[in-house]
Amino acid sequence: MASLAIWVHPIAEAKDAKASIEVQRASRKEFQSLELFTSRQGSWIFPLEVPPKVVWRDAEAASKFGFAPGFVIRWFDSHLEEAKLPNKGGRWIAVLEGTAPNKTPFRRALTFFAMKPKLDGSKVFIPDLTVHLPNFPGADAPAAWKEHQAEFDRSSKDFLVKSLMDNEQGAILVAGIAESPELGRPKKFPEWTAAMNAQHHLNLKLKLMAFDAPRKPLNLPRKNSNPTPMIRPGSAEESGVSEQAKSAIDKFCEEWAAATKEPFVTLIAKNGVIITHASFGNDSHGKSIDLDYRCWVASITKTVTAIMFNQLVDQGLIELDWTLDRVFPDYPSNASYVPTFRQLLNHTSGLSGHGEWGGMFNPQFENIVLNGIDVNEPGKKHEYCGLGFELAAKAMEIKTGKCAARIYHEHLFAPLGFQDIIMRNASSDGEFTAMELAVIGQLLANRGSYGQYQFISPETFTEMLPKTTGEPTVAGEHGLGLHHIRHRRQEASTNLTEPDNLLFSKNTFGHGSLSGCILVVDPDQQLVIVQARKQFRQPDNEYWQRFFQVVADAIKKDKE
C-alpha cells in the first residue's frame, strides 16, 4: 500500500519554525535568568567553621534544565590561590563550572568574605551601624506612625546588618574595605569596593584563561600637535552668535523650569565657546541647584562607552568586525549566531534587553550571554539593546587587563579632567554634570580629539557616525553609540530631507536619554547642546520641543 504524503503549506511551515525558535529563545532566557544564593541566611559573610553552600534560588526551575545543582565549585582566596574550601579569613571567590543546556560552558563567579575563627589579639574595629531616618514617616503621617519612630530606627539597624550578611554586595563591601589602603581622601569610583572586586575577578579570569597579561597595552590618548577646541568661557563675538543669545535661551529655560518644577542645568557652546551655562529651578528642599548638578544620563552612557571602546579599535587591540570569539575564548568561531563588535554597538546584534544580569560588574556576564547565544540572529533587525555595550565593556577588560571602571577613568575621564564620574554599567547608568556632557560633546564635534589629546583618530571616529549597515534586512542609518538627531522647524513641512526644514545641519547627531538629559552635536556649526536633569515627565514634552527652536533662533548672528 502506498504511503500517504501530507503537504504542508510553506507559510504555515515558516510560522511553525518561527514559533519554535521563539519558544527556544524564551527557554534560554529563563535559564540565563536563574539566580544563585546561599542555602543559609546571612552566609555571604561567614565564619570559617561554617562555609557557605551555593544553591539555586528556584531549585524547581533549575532542575527542569537538568541542574541539581549541576555545577562544581572551586574556591580562590584573595591571592587567587585555589583551596578545597575557604581556610582563612578574608575575600573568597567561588567559581561555579558546568555545562549549560545549549552545550556551552557554564561559568558563574561569586564573592564571599570569611571571618577569622577567633580573635588573634589584633584590634578589631566594629563600625557603628545605627540608622536614623529623619524623614520617616513624613510630615503628613498619622500620629501612630510617628510614635513608633524610635522602634523603626532600631529595626532599620537590624535590617541593615542582616542585609549586609545576606547579600553578595555586603561581602563585596566588607572585603573591599578590609583590603583598602588609607589614602587621606574620599575614594573615587575606580577605588570603590565594587571596582576592587571587579579587578579581583578579572585577574582570576585571566589566570584561568592562561592570560597572564594583556598582549598589547592600551596607551593613554596621544598628544595633538595642534590642540583642538575645548569648552571655555568667551564672548558672543568669539562664539559667533548675537549678544542676545544667552538671555533668550536663559529666559526660555527659566520659563521651562518654573512650569514643570524640574530643575536642570543647560550648557550651549559654539566653536568651543560657552554661550550659556546656567542652572534653573530648585531641588526638593527648595534650594537652587548649582552648576555641578550631577545627574543620571541613562542611555547617553552608551555614547561614552562607544568612545572608550573605539580607543581600543584605534590602537589595534580590537577590530569592529571581529566576531566575539576573537576575544571571548568560550564562544564558537564561524557560527552564524555570534555577532560582531560593530553589531553590538549599532543595535543589530540580535540581542535584546537592558540591565539584565548585572552588566559589566558581573564577572561572568559574557558567559551568561553565551548560554543563550545559539538562538541569536545577528544582522536580521535593528533592536535597541543595552547588552551589547555591556559585552563591549567585558571585552575591553580582557584586552587591557583592567576592570572597566579603571579603563574609563584612566583612559577617558582623567585625561578630560573629570573627577567624580560614576559608571554603574556600560549602557545606561553613568552620572555626569552638564559641563562634563559638554566636554564629551566637544570631543565628538572635534572628531575624536579634545584640547591636547587625540582619543580617537578621525578615521576611526568616522566609523562611529550613523550610516547604513550594508545589511539589507536592517533598514536605516545606525551609528556606534550615536544616532542622527534632526529637529524640524515649527513652521516647516514634515520632509526632513530638506535642509531648510531642519533647525540644525543634517549631520547633527547625539543620543537620547530616559532621564531627559540632552546631548546634541552639530559638527557643521561646531555647536554643542547639553542639559543635565534628574527626570523627564509629560509636561516637559512641550518645552523640550520648543527648546531647540529657541536655541536655533538665538544663535543666529543676524539677530543683532
What is the average per-residue pLDDT within 193-213?
90
For residue range 515-551, list pLDDT tens digits in order.
999 999 999 999 999 999 999 999 999 999 899 999 9
Residue 51 belongs to what domain range? 31-179
What's the pLDDT tens digit per position in 33-47?
Answer: 999 999 999 899 999
193-208 vs 168-179: helix crossing angle, rounded to 10: 90
Phi, psi (5° rounding) for residue 378?
-70, 150
In the predicted structure, residue 182 carries a pLDDT above the cut 60: yes
Helix (H, G, I), strand (E, B) or coil at 219: coil
Q: H-helix or E-strand containing 174?
A: helix 168-179
Above 80 in pLDDT, residue 129? no
* In contact, 521 and 482? CB cutoff 8 Å: no
CB 25 within 8 A of CB 353: no
Residue 121 has pLDDT above 60, yes or no: no
378 is written with which cell numbers? 545577528
**196 or 161, which is more confident:** 196
- What mean pLDDT, rounded, does the chain reach? 91
In a domain, 59, yes or no: yes
Per DSSP, the residues of 295-358 read: EE-TTHHHHHHHHHHHHHHHTTS--TT-BGGGT-TTSPSS-TTPPBHHHHHTT-SS---SSGGG
Which DSSP string corresponds to 416-475? HT----EESSSSS-EEE-HHHHHHHHHHHHTTSEETTEESS-HHHHHHHS-EE-S-TTS-
Residue 293: pLDDT above 50? yes
- Identify the DSSP state of 390: H
**Is residue 541 domain-resident?**
no
The mean-pLDDT minimum among 201-205, 213-217, 397-401 falls in 213-217
Percent of the chain beyond pLDDT 70?
A: 91
Helix axis angle, 149-165 to 168-179, nearest 10°: 80
Q: Is 224 inside a domain boundary? A: no
Q: What distance in Å separates the CA atoms of residue 394 and residue 422, rounded to the nearest whole number?
A: 17
End-to-end Cα, the chain, rounded Å? 96
pLDDT band at 490 (very low <50, low <70, confident <90, very high): confident
Residue 483 lies inside a defined structural domain of this protein: no
Q: Which sign, positive or negative, has the C-alpha torsion 356, 359, 362, 366? A: positive
Query: Is it the case that residue 89 has pLDDT exceeding 80?
Result: yes
Q: What is the pLDDT of residues 444-488, one digit of tens each?
A: 999 999 999 999 999 999 999 998 876 667 777 889 999 999 998
Find the range with the poorest average confidence among 16-25, 245-254, 383-392: 16-25
- 468, part of any domain: no
Q: Is the pLDDT of residue 505 over 80?
A: yes
Distance CA 22, CA 267 (A): 46
Q: Provide DSSP, 240-271.
A: TS-TTHHHHHHHHHHHHHHHH---EEEEEEET
**C-alpha 507: how far from chain center:** 26
Give the range among 75-84, 155-164, 168-177, 269-278 with minimum mean pLDDT: 155-164
What is the pLDDT, as a whole number, of residue 232?
Answer: 97
Categorize the per-residue pLDDT at 559 as very low, low, confident or very high, splitting at 50, 70 and 90.
Answer: very low
In a domain, 56, yes or no: yes
pLDDT mean over 64-80? 96
Domain-located, residue 74? yes
Contact 482, 510 (CB under 8 A): yes
* Closest CA relative to residue 54, chosen from 117, 104, 98, 2: 98
Quick one: pLDDT at residue 385?
94
Do residues 25 and 94 lie in contact, with contact meaning Cβ atoms separated by under 8 Å? no
Q: Is residue 397 part of a domain?
A: no
SS3 label, residue 146: helix
Q: What is the pLDDT of residues 330-387, one digit of tens each?
A: 999 999 999 999 999 999 999 998 888 999 999 999 999 999 999 999 999 999 999 9
Domain count, the chain: 1
Max CA distance (Å), the chain: 96
- 122: pLDDT strictly greater than 60: no
Q: In terms of Cα–Cα distance, which of 444, 322, 454 is closest to 392?
A: 322
Q: Give mean pLDDT, residues 385-399.
A: 97
When comparing pLDDT for 18 and 194, which is higher?
194
